[in-house]
Amino acid sequence: MHAEMKAPKYQRRVEDKDEAVDLARVTSEGHRPLETRFGGSLATVSPSAAYEAVRDADGNGVRFTRHEGGASIEKHFFLVAPYLAELDLKIIGAAPEHVDLSYASGQPPGSATSSSLFGFGRSVPNIATGMCLVDGTADRGQGGRRGEVKAETKTFPKDGRPGQVGFAGLDERFFVGAVYAASSERLGLCTVESQLSGSVTATLELPLVADQVRRFGVYLGPKDFDRLRKSSVLPGETAPSAGLDSAIDFGFWTALCIPMLLAMEFFHNQVVRNWGLAIILLTMVIKLLLLPLQQRYFKSMEQMKKLQPLVEELKKKYGEDKEQLNRETMKLYSEHGANPLGSCLPMLIQLPIWFALYRLLGNTIQLYREPFIPGWINDLTAPDPYYLLPLGMGATMIVTQLLTPQTLQGGQQKFLMWFMPVFFTLTFLKVPAGLSLYIFASNLLNIGQQYLLTRRK
């Protein structure tokens, strides 16, 4: 029997049915998760060599044994917590120098259901990306942020000298599979190897002492901060954390993603019990925080509209002298406290929030396959199957333009009125429904706010 562990399968309720996600797939080259290679006298032992397997009496683990050249190799796998297993490795009668413990996987079936923001609906495959945490820094192998498949091998630390290895594993958007040394003795190397077939292998290379048990942690499960932190240390160990939570990579947008996720978790757990409604409540909170800036924007637009006849007079007065016209126009705006860039302010403020929410929806398990309205939006991390949210978003953008004081004339105004809504509608056809819901709700709040301001005026 091969030294292979059956991975736990993450369960999520989908349309009243349990759907399993297989996190341990054999690669097209035949590599299995948690294969081992040895240096020194046991280097000839193939990682696919057959082992004798005996199930534990309590049914919670399996002990694999193989005899090779007078030495005995023992591997004991057993579950210690949901999605967390322990591997106890022991070599009797030989000094193998080091052990290479690999987590290998073929590519997830199918493709991801989201696209790159501003990618005009282009789908990005849900590929497995190898990663290593070495000397406190998380490095990734093939894949990149756009999901391209490459054939390459990367070793960390990059200079080839041993470093403190936290973990080696594979990132699959909402799930992660990783292995780490349970003790504080973690000086070694980490290698990520990828094939054009899409197969990826992440390997720990650590020293191994003969006749002593070497403990490893094996995590196969969802990318949830709390669960990953708790799983970073095996029960009974006092070693430093393996840092599994660094597998959740928000990149540049971390400072925005974390507060947004915490706010949505609070709304979901304490208020509404629906992640779609939690997104709407988050939209309302952000709208309140940005209300002073929004009011300044509307005030600036009103002032710009009042100054438009004077600007037209300046155009007639200075004719083709563009430089003088620009100076006099800016002087006019300055004297009346108008900001010609004010119309760009709401978009500039919202763009970072859009990007952060996009990253959040593609990297955390909380909203994965969570519905907003069952039968319509069954998964907030997938696109709206009927495109109602993107179309509604475009329609509300047009209404917002109609209610906003206009500072441009003729063709320029028509361009902004129609091109921008059409552009954003096409762009958001394949982005996660949660992001389209946020923008749609934000537009509705803009319409209500502008209507109240206009009526009060």
Residue 111, sorted as left (phi over 0), alpha (psi -120 to 50) or beta, turns out to be beta
Beta-bridged to residue 130, according to DSSP, are: 170
**Rounded distance, CA 430 to CA 390, Å?**
9
Residue 202 main-chain phi, psi, to 5 deg: -110, 130
Residue ranges covered by each domain of the chain: 10-249, 255-456
138 token code pair: 């998380």
Of residues 112, 237, 125, 126, the one with CA closest to residue 172: 126
| Share of residues in the chain with pLDDT > 90 (%) | 44
**Rounded distance, CA 75 to CA 88, Å?**
6
The answer to whether 453 and 402 are in contact (CB under 8 A) is: no
A 10 A CB-CB count for 77 gives 23
222 token code pair: 């969802």
Query: Between residues 395 and 322, which one has the greater pLDDT?
Result: 395
- How high does pLDDT run on average in the chain? 83
Which residues contact residue 30 at a Cβ distance below 8 angstroms, ignoring those fewer than 6 apart? 48
Instruction: Output the pLDDT for position 279.
Output: 97
Instruction: Output the pLDDT for position 149.
Output: 62
**Predicted confidence (pLDDT) per residue in 239-286, tens digit:** 899 999 999 988 889 999 999 999 999 999 999 999 999 999 999 999
Q: Considering the entire predicted model, what is its pTM?
A: 0.82
DSSP string of 174-192, one letter each residue: TEEEEEEESSS--EEEEEE
**Rounded distance, CA 3 to CA 35, Å?**
7
User: Taking residues 308-329, what's their average pLDDT?
Assistant: 79
pLDDT at 414 over 70: no
Give the least confident one: 147-151, 332-336, 410-414. 410-414
pLDDT at 386 over 60: yes
> E-assigned strands of 69-199?
71-81, 84-92, 98-105, 129-134, 137-140, 152-156, 163-172, 175-181, 187-194
Of residues 257, 234, 260, 232, the one with CA closest to residue 246: 232
Domain made up of 10-249: CATH architecture: Distorted Sandwich (2.70)
3-state percent breakdown (helix, strand, coil) of the chain, nearest 5: 35, 25, 35
Secondary structure (3-state) at 23: coil
Instruction: Output the pLDDT for position 5.
Output: 35
pLDDT at 412 over 60: no
Query: Between residues 27 and 84, which one has the greater pLDDT?
Result: 84
100 token code pair: 């290479």
245 to 206, 251, 370: CA distances (angstroms): 22, 13, 22
Query: Between residues 317 and 447, which one has the greater pLDDT?
Result: 447
DSSP string of 17-59, one letter each residue: EEEEE------TT---TTEEEE-GGGTTS-TT-B-EEEE-TTS
Instruction: Output the pLDDT for position 60.
Output: 86
pLDDT at 406 over 70: no
**Predicted confidence (pLDDT) per residue in 201-246, tens digit:** 999 999 988 889 999 999 999 999 999 999 999 998 888 999 999 9
Of residues 358, 167, 327, the one with CA closest to residue 253: 358
A 10 A CB-CB count for 114 gives 23
Torsion angle, CA of 442/448/450/452, rounded to 10 degrees? -150
**Rounded distance, CA 268 to CA 367, Å?**
10
| Share of residues in the chain with pLDDT > 70 (%) | 84
